[in-house]
Structure 1
């Protein structure tokens, strides 16, 4: 298994964090979420809406949308290999997602100062239509890596 060397580039660090976090993330794998891209302070993930993700209105349950956006947020804020957790988030659901939709959540860092950060994630469907907007607040635990070096 590759290690995160002191001379690793920020992108190499983000790639290794992605690989190791995903291997240890049964919730994300169980939801069928693919982590398609991670770079310093940003991440993109995808998920196809399954029948078991639908609510009583035959649309994707908001909790699954929150989980998708939260996943992008988690990979974005841990991309520096500093253990970072959510201190809170909010989500606005603006359109329904339906069975079979391929959803993409893209998270970007807006601010990172000291131990706190703010990240926005946008969820879109395969047609580029906006489904939800998510804002996450992070807290970094200094001195602890997100994944073992």
Structure 2
């Protein structure tokens, strides 16, 4: 039986997370993945604070970048970042539960554009991240031939 596109996205996300030592060390959790979409969460710990006692911007960036990776790799085509920007809107604090929502805006050929917003547990936006992706050779998981065609839309 073949996988639906969203089942494929979920399987790719699980496979990526299994190998992502940085995401696991930071306690990131996959909440939901679909084709071109990912929702990841992370609890801000004391060891994630900067000299101002707020969440280090690099931690917020890493959460957003990881959600971006899960969204752009959801088609089972190995895809990497070719560029990204982030704008910080508000600080995160120790004990905050941050969520990053990644959404595909455009995908054609080997490139894509994704917007990721990072929120706190009150749904206040903390950061706006835009990532540009580039597909390279390879797949994340081996699937039956009939399921392999889901990654070809938009090309």
What RMSD, in angstroms, separates the aligned Cα atoms of the two structures?
Answer: 1.0
Name the TM-score, length of structure 2 as normaliser: 0.89
Q: Report what 1:46 is aligned to.
A: 41
**Aligned pair partner of 2:32 in 34, 37, 47:** 37
Give the structure with the higher percent helix. Answer: 2
Q: Give the TM-score, by structure 1 length.
A: 0.93
Q: Does 1:127 pair with 2:122?
A: yes
Unaligned ranges ≥5, structure 2: 144-155
Q: Where does residue 58 of structure 1 map in the other structure?
A: 53
Which residue pairs with 1:146 in the alignment?
140
Quote the Cα distance in structure 2 between the aligned partners of 1:138 and 1:102: 27
Query: How many equivalent residue pairs?
Result: 143
Is the contact made by 1:21 and 1:147 (CA closer than 8 Å) also made in structure 2?
no
Q: Is the 8 A contact 1:41 1:76 kept in 2?
A: yes
Moved runs in structure 1, 4+ residues, more than 6 A? none
Gaps of 5+ in 1: none
